[in-house]
Amino acid sequence: MRLSHALPAGLLALGLSACGGKAADSTLLRESFDSGDTYSRTVPGTPAQACEAARRTLLSQGYAIARADADAVEANKNFQPTEDSHEQLVLRISCAARGDEALVFVSAVQDRYALKKSPTSASVGVGALGSVSLPFGSNDDSLVKVASSTVQDGDFYRRFFTRLQQYLPAAKASTPEPAAAPVPPAPAPPVTPVPEPAQSPVPASVPAAPATPTPAPPPVPASDTPDDAH
């Protein structure tokens, strides 16, 4: 009889554990990797200009910039909803090239912290009882992370991208376009040598023509001059 009563209890516990496993896995099963653009937008400009616009957007809303590069920005903002709780919102932006434009990805993580009190004790001497440990105050209180989740609100990301578009013109003005790489000149076509015209062979030595003797002028005859009369 005891076995018959224990068997249904075991089956019930097994069924509850199975249900608990399905409930635990339901959050992961809702991750569908659909084709929506909740976490990304395409904006005109280069990745560096898009990330600069994102940095200015976060600064305008009171975020503390932890990292700002040409392709990534990370910032955080603190909140305190109640006296014993604390929340922090961390945004991570990545910028990638997409043709002549930039593709901006953003993801926000919300961390929740709670104040945990750690009471301290001190020993007090009592005559008849010796030393007694008594609690005192909460001097060692500390914040402990109790939850962390990715923000999935579409309106939150839509407001971020709308604000980013407003800062994009100023970011483009402060971040010039990268200079295009110089195009090397085309190589000159090879020059074909022009052959020189053929010349007739010149003899090594040409005999000089004999010199023609110049004839001597004929003698001039003496003129017959009559003697002077005395």
Check which CATH number belongs to the domain holding 52 and give it: 3.30.310.80
Dist CA 48 CA 72 (whole Å): 9
**Amino acid 9: pLDDT:** 47
Dist CA 113 CA 109 (whole Å): 13
**Amino acid 41: pLDDT:** 95
Cα radius of gyration rounded to whole Å, the chain: 52
Dist CA 204 CA 202 (whole Å): 6
Residue 24 belongs to some domain of the structure: no
- Per-residue pLDDT reduced to its tens digit, 26-70: 667 777 777 778 999 999 999 999 999 999 999 999 999 999 999
Residue 27 belongs to some domain of the structure: no
- Per-residue pLDDT reduced to its tens digit, 66-119: 999 999 999 999 999 988 899 999 999 999 999 999 999 999 999 999 988 776
Residue 215 belongs to some domain of the structure: no
Residue 67 belongs to some domain of the structure: yes
Q: Domain of 39?
A: 35-114+147-174
**Amino acid 44: pLDDT:** 95
Dihedral, CA atoms, 132, 135, 137, 138, nearest 10 degrees?
130
Residue 123 belongs to some domain of the structure: no
Please tell me the pTM assigned to this model.
Answer: 0.59
Instruction: Quote the number of domains for the chain.
Output: 1
Residue 158 belongs to some domain of the structure: yes
Residue 40 belongs to some domain of the structure: yes
For residue 187, what pLDDT band results from cuts at 50, 70 and 90?
confident
Residue 80 belongs to some domain of the structure: yes
Dist CA 202 CA 116 (whole Å): 116
Strands (E), the chain: 40-44, 64-68, 72-79, 85-98, 101-116, 120-126, 130-136, 142-150
